[in-house]
Structures are given as C-alpha cells and as structure tokens.
Amino acid sequence: MSLDGLGIAGIHSRHVVAAAVAVVVAWVLFSFAGQVSEAASAAERTERMRAENAALAANVRELEREVGIVAGSGWVAQQARAYQLGAADERAFRLAPGAPSLPPDAPGSSTVRLGASPEGQMSPLEAWLDLLFGPAPGG
C-alpha cells in the first residue's frame, strides 16, 4: 500500500508515521502510569495490612495473657468462692438477714455518679477554694 496519494491533502507519510509513533508512545506511557498507580496502591494496601496484622497480634497477646490469668489457680479459687467452695477456714461475707438497705446517697450507689455534685454539697474544688480564699460572696 502506497501513501504517496495522501500528499495532496497535506498529509505525508512522515506525518502518518509520526502520528503512529505518538499513539504508541502515548499508549506505553498510559500503560506505565497505570502500572505505577497499581504498584502504589498495592504498597499502600500492604502497609495497611501490616498495621492490621500488628494490631491483631497485639490483641492475640493480650487475650493469651488474659487466658493465663483466668486459667490460674488464684482466679479459679476466687470464682469458686462465689459458689461457697472456698477453704474450710474461710468465712463468707454476708449481710445479716434483717440488715437495713443503704441510704440513697451512700458511696458507690447508683444515685451518686462520678463527678456529680449533690445539691447543698460543695465539689472538692469548691471546698479547696473555700478553704484557701474564704467563703464565696453571697454564698
């Protein structure tokens, strides 16, 4: 096939060859850029998986430590005491059958929350400030 007839339209065989070479070069560059992009994303996935594996390994170590504690004789003895299976010389702690219930503001009760200040009672910070600088004006 001869490209001599294309010279009339202003397209010479050199132009066709240059365009074909440009298309091949562009295709190679786009292909290479895609490979580089895939390699970068694969490296990112690898780092993420390494971090996940390290976190999982730390979790496994922590769980193995907990199994060691739970399987130990101290833990088993403590849990046995809940079923009154302790040593013969131990005394179980029990409240007397007619013991009164705790008041609602007893330490550890659900009505006294951490950080809550019951009405009429100063917070520890207010108590310190009162001690250092005297009572608040109007208070």
Q: Could you report the per-residue pLDDT of 10-51, keeping only the tens digit for each?
A: 677 788 888 999 999 999 999 999 899 999 999 999 999 999
Q: Which residues contact 12 (CB under 8 A, 6 or more apart)?
A: 3, 6
Q: Are 84 and 90 in contact (CB under 8 A)?
A: no
For residue 110, the model assigns a pLDDT of: 66
In a domain, 109, yes or no: no
What confidence score (pLDDT) does residue 8 get? 57
Q: Which has the closest alpha carbon to 87: 73, 97, 66, 69?
A: 73
What tokens appear for 20 in the block? 């074909």
Max mean pLDDT range (3-7, 9-13, 98-102, 134-138): 98-102
Which of 101 and 114 is assigned the larger pLDDT? 101
In the chain, the percentage of residues whose pLDDT exceeds 70 is: 80
Q: What is the domain range of residue 55?
A: 4-77
* Position 71 in a domain: yes
- On whether residue 90 sits in a domain, the answer given is no
Residue 33 covered by a domain: yes
Radius of gyration of the chain from its Cα atoms, rounded to whole angstroms: 40
Q: Is residue 125 part of a domain?
A: no
| Under 8 Å between Cβ of 82 and 93 | no
**Report field, pTM of the whole predicted structure over 0.75:** no
> Is residue 96 pLDDT above 70, yes or no?
yes
- Between CA 123 and CA 37 the distance in angstroms is 60
DSSP H or E stretch at residue 88: none
Contact in structure between 90 and 83 (CB atoms under 8 Å): no
Pairwise CA distance, residues 54 & 45, whole Å: 14
The rounded mean pLDDT for the chain is 81
Tell whether 91 is covered by a domain: no
In a domain, 44, yes or no: yes
- Of 126, 107, 123, 104, which Cα lies nearest the Cα of 115? 123
The three-state secondary structure class of 71 is coil
Q: What is the pLDDT of residues 109-124, one digit of tens each?
A: 666 666 565 666 777 7
pLDDT at 108: 67
Q: Is residue 19 situated within a structural domain?
A: yes
Number of domains in the chain: 1
